[in-house]
Structure 1
Amino acid sequence: MSPSEEGTLGQRWSRALETLFREREPALPAFLSLYDEHIQFQDPLQRVSGVAAYAELNRRFLARARRLDITVEELAEQDGRIFASWRLKFAPRIGPELTLEGVSHLRVREGRIVYQRDHFDTAGGLASAVPGLSSLYRAVLTRVT
């Protein structure tokens, strides 16, 4: 068993995700091998069904980035569920670098990921890219809550 195959599915997913963002397209097949062909994926911006659509979503995302870095900060697994918190730094081809903090909820069946829902604050990520806007965004949220 190679080092990339060792550990729990959550640990392998975490390593594969970080490798995907570092190595990009060449790492996509190994990352996708963790998913069921009928994967259901959703985040605040989009929803796709099937591993082919999920692969294309990832290809487009990787192609839009000048720089990408993700760190999985916490990982919890129990009863066919994986929860991971992460921090993503994304520099698009044009524009400032964004920082997003988020959580992924994955469901597992027969050793493969069948569902993934990513949660992140899109507006907060955009605000992080503009000097001074992040402070204003936090102030508005504090007043609203």
Structure 2
Amino acid sequence: MKPAPTIEVGHPNSTVPATLAQFRVLFNQLDKGNLNKLPAIYSEDIRFQDPLGSVEGLDALTRYFAGAYENVISCHFAFEDSVVQDSSASIPWIMHLRHKRIRGGSEIQVAGISHLKVRDGKICYHRDYFDAGELLYENLPVVGGVIRWVKGYAG
């Protein structure tokens, strides 16, 4: 698959495009068995946040991802064009996820965006924005039906 292009705004940081390319590759290979690859793209003092939690430090991030990937059957990201300004980047994506505890292992798709900051060729800040309801609550047996009904009714 051809990597998504990068749109650069302002003064380019020469390490950012290569770091973003590594980020895309890693997240399409990542699973509970290869979390030892995280130091290739993340700094020791990484700050990470998503709608489900936040951690500081590479060890804490590794533990967080170990929990997140524990019941994952497969996970693939379709990355769109990234926008880069200096050492910051935003990358929209669609996650294709199969999880043992979500929808009986059937694939779900969740749209989101990652905001990254790069320092010395490593990601030192990573924040993911996505609808946690779309990921979890809408896919739970009883609660999910109610939430989907409410969204349909309100929409």
1:114 to 105, 113, 124: 124
1:105 match = 115
Q: Does 1:77 align with 2:80?
A: no
TM-score of the pair, normalised by structure 1: 0.77
Secondary structure, aligned partner of 2:63: helix
Pairwise CA RMSD = 2.4
Query: Which has more helix, going by share of residues?
Result: 1
Residue identity matched to 2:35: L
Deviation at 1:120, TM superposition (A): 0.3
Query: Which piece of structure 1 moves more, 116-125 or 129-138?
Result: 129-138
Query: Which piece of structure 1 moves more, 117-126 or 49-58?
Result: 117-126
Deviation at 1:131, TM superposition (A): 7.1
Report the identity percentage.
23
Q: Which has the higher contact order (CA 8 A, sep 6+)?
A: 2
2:138 match = 127
Q: Does 1:30 align with 2:37?
A: yes
Looking at structure 1, the residues matched to 152 and 128 of structure 2 have their Cα atoms a distance apart, in angstroms, of 22
Secondary structure, aligned partner of 1:52: helix
Looking at structure 1, the residues matched to 83 and 25 of structure 2 have their Cα atoms a distance apart, in angstroms, of 14
TM-score of the pair, normalised by structure 2: 0.73
Point out where structure 2 has 5 or more consecutive residues left out of the alignment.
Answer: 1-16
Looking at structure 1, the residues matched to 41 and 86 of structure 2 have their Cα atoms a distance apart, in angstroms, of 17
Secondary structure, aligned partner of 1:38: strand
Q: Does 1:137 align with 2:151?
A: yes
Looking at structure 1, the residues matched to 149 and 117 of structure 2 have their Cα atoms a distance apart, in angstroms, of 36
2:69 match = 62
Point out where structure 1 has 5 or more consecutive residues left out of the alignment.
Answer: 1-6
Deviation at 1:124, TM superposition (A): 2.6
Q: Does 1:43 align with 2:50?
A: yes
CA pair 137-72 structure 1, distance change in 2 beyond 3 A: same
Secondary structure, aligned partner of 1:40: strand
Looking at structure 2, the residues matched to 82 and 116 of structure 1 have their Cα atoms a distance apart, in angstroms, of 10
Residue identity matched to 2:66: R
Query: Which piece of structure 1 moves more, 59-68 or 116-125?
Result: 59-68
Deviation at 1:68, TM superposition (A): 2.1
Residue identity matched to 2:124: V
Looking at structure 2, the residues matched to 37 and 48 of structure 1 have their Cα atoms a distance apart, in angstroms, of 12
| Maintained 8 Å contact 2:47/2:55 | yes
| Maintained 8 Å contact 2:112/2:130 | yes
1:52 match = 59
